[in-house]
Chains A and B, each alone.
Chain A
Amino acid sequence: MKRRGRGIACMLYPVGATSYPNPGSAFVKVNPDGTAVVFAGATDVGQGSTTVLAQIAAEALGVEFAAITMVTADTEHTPYDFGSVASRVTYVVGNAVRQAAHQAKQVFLAAAAEVLKLDVSGLDSAAGWVYAKGFPERRLPVAEAAARAYALSGRPPLGASTFNAATTFLDPETGHGKPYPCYVFATQIAEVEVDTETGEVVVVSIAAAHDCGRAVNPLLVEGQIEGGIAQGLGYGLLEEMVLEEGKVKNDQLVDYVIPTMCDMPEMRLAIVEEPEPTGPYGAKGIGEPSLLPTAPAILNAIYDAVGVRIRELPATPGKILAALQDMRVPSERGPS
């Protein structure tokens, strides 16, 4: 018989490495034609950090996304970064990029101020134009402002910045301290179908609502959530390294099974945007947290479906069948 059930799981997760300073830094240079190069130590491991940092730089400089070139992850050519870990790159390196871009922008705004005959504090830039705040018709292309900064002011628009969140170490006795700058939150609800004959579980759907602060790029945020759910599903149902005397018995993808396209449920996502005042444009992070609620939501759904509580991951058909049998035994004896 096939039985359906639903399970919920919530979580909170911090942004940044625990306690230790984990700075990120960036250099920004604006070219005389209004394009810009951003140098940042952060590595894009597929999560899309380089794209997000380029978006932050474009926003901060007031230029088009296409005007940004990124140079990343080279210990000689880019400034220090702690690394692509701890869901920290958007928040930490994003802040550094934003600040460095802001510095470079002040230089070309100053050059524009001379042309527009306005105080620099009255100027801003967007979409490739320097304009007077509150009177956008008074404007000048960023390219022209940047060119003037080089050729007439003799001051190429450059910026350099570092960001490090204020954290403390934990007291060794009590464990008290402030190890992280901020937190994200999430809830996932899994719907499963359990075959009581075979113990097989099909995950029918996952509803996932994640707070990541401001979503700098919703397309990439969704990708992180969906990918996290896949890893969470693998963790909950499929994956396990089997060791015998320290030797991994299933050391190939043939016998260590990760989710395929057929294992993945329908995913319904909601991004809950609560801007974080200390984050770049309110952004926090999403990389790791997306997989946290998936396995417990699925296991809670299995319990809801068939009344079996699996306390050892992964919830394989074998474990579920065995638990179902244990459950049947007393009832077969009849009420005592």
Chain B
Amino acid sequence: MEFAVVGKRIPRHDAVSHVTGRTLYGVDIVRPRMLHARILRSPHAHARIVAVDVSRASRLPGVCAITAADVPCNRYGFTHVDQPVLADDRVRHRGDAVAAVAAPTPERADEALQAIKVEYEPLPAIFDPIAALGPDAPRVHGDTNVAARVNIRYGDIERGWQESHEIIEETFRTQMVEHCHLEPHAALAELDSRGVLTVHASVQRPFLIAADLSKILGLPMNRIRVIAAAVGGGFGGKNEITMEPIVCLLALKAGRPVKAVYSREEEFQATTVRHPYIITCRTGLKREGALVARQVSILSDTGAYVSWGAWTLSKASIHAAGPYNIPHVKTEGVLVYTNNCVGGAMRGFGVPQVAFAYESHTDTLAEAVGLDPVEFRLKNMMKDGCVLPTGQVLDKVTLQQTVVRAVGLARPEEDRTP
């Protein structure tokens, strides 16, 4: 079927405004009488907060300051409501916000930040996700550092091991990375003429931001309006509230528009990152190369809060055995708290980590049975009617076509067949 518009190589609708520099991103939005916000962050990875004193900062001309005491409902989160807007009892990583100020100029805001006094009582911290599982490890929340578990079982793994001629195990580790969208997080809050609290923010999920703001601020949803400005890249990094509640509280307190923009340091230290994973793949296979059984265990370091950690772990676990037809599969995922940066959503949501592991592992297996990596994949890959470890039956499986096309493209130009 031919379409008139679908399938056409049409330039972006906003291309003209982008190439002429007219697009207004979150960082570009300003208002008359606007105040500039700055956030004070913890110098400790783990500490009890004894006292926060913003009185000296508040006395500076035009400065308005807030602490946890100003936040009506100071916990948020999607699967686990464990994260404060401004830390109250404890700081749990160095990105935790402790207090915030708004001032007529950025310089005055910096000065006000210096004037805030916080008394901490440092606590033992835990940075290694394996050590965090130990009985004596410092606890980040509650009485265990295990924040979530995911289990997926398909077939009978014990039978799978028995039916295998060879069993190969490998362990992989992935690193912590940042989204590095070129536009930092930015938000501006103001009351419009109707008294609706309006937030312009560089975010991927305005409706989630609005819902969370409503809970945190204790305002009905029809008094809050979130507008996603043009967003200078997200990649999962702009999936949750960051400074939005802070600029809202400051704007309400000061009665003026308040804007915040994160520095690059804050992007790294205080926003979410891609979870580092430790992944062990153990696979049983037949002499001629057919996959029989696979067990995958995943340890995910979610840092100080769960954020999207439980959800990413579940997506990772579902796909940890890869696009292969394996009769017996067992996946165990564990999410652990540490005092590291907070893991969150990032393009691929846990699956790039496991894809690195399962595809490296696939080459090891191919070599073990003396097959070429392409041949081994074609032999074992999912086809229409194959079943994922979740029991979901696949159709329209084009894996084989993609292999054939990629192999064709990888040939030197002269012998590439169209």
Contacts and interface: CB of A to CB of B under 8 A. Distances in A.
Interface of A: 6-14, 17-19, 41, 43-46, 48, 50-51, 54-56, 58-59, 62, 64-65, 70, 72-76, 80-86, 126-127, 170, 172-180, 182-183, 185-189, 191, 205, 207-211, 214-220, 228, 231-232, 234-236, 239-241, 243, 245-248, 250-253, 256, 258, 268-270, 272, 274, 276, 281, 283, 287-289, 291-293, 295-297, 299-300, 303, 309, 311-314
Contact of B352 (A19, A240, A292, A299): A292
B376 to A, nearest CB: 10
| Nearest 8 interchain pairs by C-beta | A175-B152, A83-B205, A246-B45, A296-B359, A207-B409, A209-B405, A73-B228, A45-B234
B323 A80 contact: no
Contact of A85 (B180, B205, B392, B394): B205
B58 interface: no
B205 A46 contact: no
B173 A312 contact: yes
Contacts of B410: 6, 189, 191, 205, 207, 268
B125 interface: yes
A293 B352 CA distance: 8
Contacts of A311: 170-173, 360
B407 A189 contact: yes
Interface string B1-43: 0011111111111100000000000000000000000000000
A240 B401 contact: no
B228 A252 contact: no
Nearest to A243: B340
B355 A11 contact: yes
A303 B206 CA distance: 44
Contact of B396 (A50, A182, A210): A182
A245 B341 CA distance: 10
Contacts of A296: 355-356, 358-360
Given A46-B233, A179-B392, A207-B409, A83 B207 contact: yes
Contact of A270 (B356, B381, B405): B405
Interface in B217-231: 221, 224-228, 230-231
A175 B227 contact: no
Contacts of B373: 7-8, 300
B318 interface: yes
A299 B356 contact: yes
Given A10-B323, A10-B403, A205-B410, A281 B352 contact: no
A211 B232 CA distance: 27
Contact of B175 (A9, A83, A239, A270): A239
Nearest to B93: A246
A289 B409 CA distance: 19
What is the interface residue range for chain B against chain A?
Answer: 35 or more
15 contacts: A7-B373, A12-B399, A14-B318, A43-B231, A45-B233, A83-B208, A176-B390, A180-B392, A185-B398, A185-B399, A207-B410, A219-B9, A241-B341, A274-B396, A296-B360
B239 interface: yes
A293 B355 contact: yes
Interface string B376-407: 01000110000001111010111101111111
Contact of A46 (B231, B394, B402, B405): B231
Contacts of B7: 214-218, 281
Contact of A313 (B173, B203, B402): B173
Contacts of B340: 243, 246
Contact of B180 (A72, A82, A207, A253): A253
Contacts of A240: 175-177
Contacts of A236: 356
A19 B349 CA distance: 14
B204 A84 contact: yes
A73 B402 CA distance: 35
Given A175-B150, A251-B265, A288-B347, A75 B224 contact: yes
B352 A84 contact: no
Given A175-B331, A312-B173, A272 B231 contact: no
Contacts of B8: 55, 65, 217
Contact of A58 (B5, B173, B267, B401): B5
B110 interface: no
A64 B4 CA distance: 8
Interface in B45-87: 45-46
B196 interface: yes
Given A10-B322, A65-B5, A296-B355, 9 more contacts: A8-B403, A18-B314, A51-B11, A73-B227, A74-B226, A182-B396, A187-B405, A239-B177, A252-B265
A270 B409 contact: yes
Given A10-B323, A55-B5, A252 B264 contact: yes
Given A10-B403, A208-B406, A74 B94 contact: no
